Amino acid sequence: MATATLPLLTPNDFSSDREVRWCPGCGDFSILSQLKKVLAVLNVPREKMVFVSGLGCAGRLPYYLSTYGFHGSYGRAPALATGLKLANPDLQVWVVTGDGDALSAGATHLIHALRRNVDLKILLFNNEVFGLSKGQASPTARPGTRTKTSPEGSFETPLRPISLALAAEATFVARTIDVDVNHMSEVLEKAAAHRGAAFVEIYQNCKIFNDGVFEYATDASIKTDTVIYLEHGRPLLFGRDRNQGLRLNGFEPEAVTLGHGITMDDILIHDERASEPTLAFLLSRLIGPHFPECLGVFRSVQRPTHQQLLDESFLQGDPPRLFEKLLAGDESWLVA
Ligand code: SF4
């Protein structure tokens, strides 16, 4: 029997005919460009891909891809995507959201898509500000951020998206940054290959309302000291000479310099496949100036997907036993 081969796709095949209307210099351009490159190598037909978004600047992304797309309402993209995936499990479903969309009105939808392990690829563009509504402090705005709603600087405690995703039992959790294009491609390819809910936070520069907020992680002259690139099975080292690292002191992380009695044996080894997310959670909380921030895959483990559990527990039997029971129960209604 002849095997059907898919036509090779190029990044350009994923460009739509819509004018891209983000502000010049916005980090979204870089994300869109890398995403198209990654989609081109996935070997998934465009008609099998759907991008679902919520509100905000990130929400415009589905317009710019020649795949199926759905621009949903505020914060509801994970719920829409869950329904879509359940209705048609053959689709590869991506969610595109921002810090304002996903972590304010959308926080509960995000949490439940992650804990259910719905087979979605969720990209959270984090620029720490509401961009489309013209620059208000978002749930991830770091203390001191001056915006129209925080003219003296934000005084609220920000949410940390990676910590939240880990606490919600996400099976794939990663962070990358808009200008580090090779790293972004690597992370997006891993997210695409993951079975289950894959959550990727992307640090994204908002040129207009929060320009330069991630400069510490992009400036080549300092980022060796301010960033750790996570590599599975490798020691957590950083610094220009890679002579600094992370170790545990009881339950507290410590940034240490090798030498004077501190050896490689003291340095933590990154294990993205650890069954418990405890160390990943600890890494998700590291921020400057006392610690470098982590980029890469924090967690990548396997657990049955929402669809698998549903099939096993709900749809077995002919006719499906639990489905029949549900319909026959006192809590079912007939809508005529
Ligand atoms: S407001 Fe900010 S995030 Fe939105 S398109 Fe402009 S630069 Fe990008």
With respect to residue 214, please indicate whether it lies within any of the assigned structural domains. Answer: yes
Atom of ligand 1 nearest to the CA of 204: 3
132 CA to middle of ligand 1, Å?
7
The strand pair at 293-300 and 198-203 is best described as unpaired
Q: Is 28's C-beta closer than 6 angstroms to any atom of ligand 1?
A: yes
Give, for all 336 residues of the chain, the pLDDT tens digit. 455 666 789 999 999 999 999 999 999 999 999 999 999 999 899 999 999 999 999 999 999 999 999 999 999 999 999 999 999 999 999 999 999 999 999 999 999 999 999 999 999 999 999 999 889 999 999 999 999 999 999 999 999 999 999 999 999 999 999 999 999 999 999 999 999 999 999 999 999 999 999 999 999 999 999 999 999 999 999 999 999 999 999 999 999 999 999 999 999 999 999 999 999 999 999 998 889 999 999 999 999 999 999 888 776 776 666 667 777 777 777 776
Q: Which protein residue's CA is at the shortest distance from atom 2 of ligand 1?
A: 206
* Residue 52, H or E segment: strand 49-53
Q: Is 134's C-beta closer than 6 angstroms to any atom of ligand 1?
A: no
With respect to residue 224, please indicate whether it lies within any of the assigned structural domains. Answer: yes
Q: How far is CA 286 from the centre of its chain?
A: 18
pLDDT of residue 332: 74
With respect to residue 248, please indicate whether it lies within any of the assigned structural domains. Answer: no
Q: Mutation test of ligand 1: which of 64, 134, 145, 206 has the most ligand atoms closer than 8 Å to its C-beta?
A: 206
Phi, psi values for residue 65, rounded to 5°: -115, 140
With respect to residue 334, please indicate whether it lies within any of the assigned structural domains. Answer: no
With respect to residue 91, please indicate whether it lies within any of the assigned structural domains. Answer: yes
pLDDT of residue 217: 94
**Domain of 140, in residue numbers:** 11-235+270-306
CA–CA dist 13, 2 (Å, integer): 26
Residue among 124, 85, 318 nearest 202 (CA) = 124
Q: Is 208's C-beta closer than 6 angstroms to any atom of ligand 1?
A: yes
57 CA to middle of ligand 1, Å?
6
Q: Mutation test of ligand 1: which of 57, 126, 210, 213 has the most ligand atoms closer than 8 Å to its C-beta?
A: 57
Phi, psi values for residue 54, rounded to 5°: -110, -150
Structure tokens at 57: 């600047």
With respect to residue 186, please indicate whether it lies within any of the assigned structural domains. Answer: yes
With respect to residue 42, please indicate whether it lies within any of the assigned structural domains. Answer: yes
Q: Is 206's C-beta closer than 6 angstroms to any atom of ligand 1?
A: yes
**Apex 69 CA angle, 303 and 98, nearest 5:** 70
Phi, psi values for residue 150, rounded to 5°: -140, 65
With respect to residue 150, please indicate whether it lies within any of the assigned structural domains. Answer: yes
**Helices 306-313 and 77-87: angle between axes, nearest 10 degrees:** 50
How many domains, in total, are found in the chain?
1
Q: Is 131's C-beta closer than 6 angstroms to any atom of ligand 1?
A: yes
**Apex 131 CA angle, 125 and 136, nearest 5:** 115
Structure tokens at 226: 């301010």
Q: Is 22's C-beta closer than 6 angstroms to any atom of ligand 1?
A: yes
CATH assignment at residue 223: 3.40.50.970
Atom of ligand 1 nearest to the CA of 27: 8
Q: Is 84's C-beta closer than 6 angstroms to any atom of ligand 1?
A: no
Q: Is 135's C-beta closer than 6 angstroms to any atom of ligand 1?
A: no
CA–CA dist 227, 216 (Å, integer): 8
Atom of ligand 1 nearest to the CA of 210: 2
Phi, psi values for residue 209, rounded to 5°: -110, -10
pLDDT of residue 4: 61
Write the CB contacts of 249 (distance below 8 Å, at least 6 apart in sequence).
none
Q: Which protein residue's CA is at the shortest distance from atom 5 of ligand 1?
A: 22
CA–CA dist 256, 239 (Å, integer): 11
Q: Which protein residue's CA is at the shortest distance from atom 8 of ligand 1?
A: 26
Q: Is 101's C-beta closer than 6 angstroms to any atom of ligand 1?
A: no
pLDDT of residue 331: 75
Structure tokens at 240: 């220009």
Residue among 214, 272, 271, 198 nearest 38 (CA) = 198
pLDDT of residue 1: 47
What pTM does this model have? 0.93
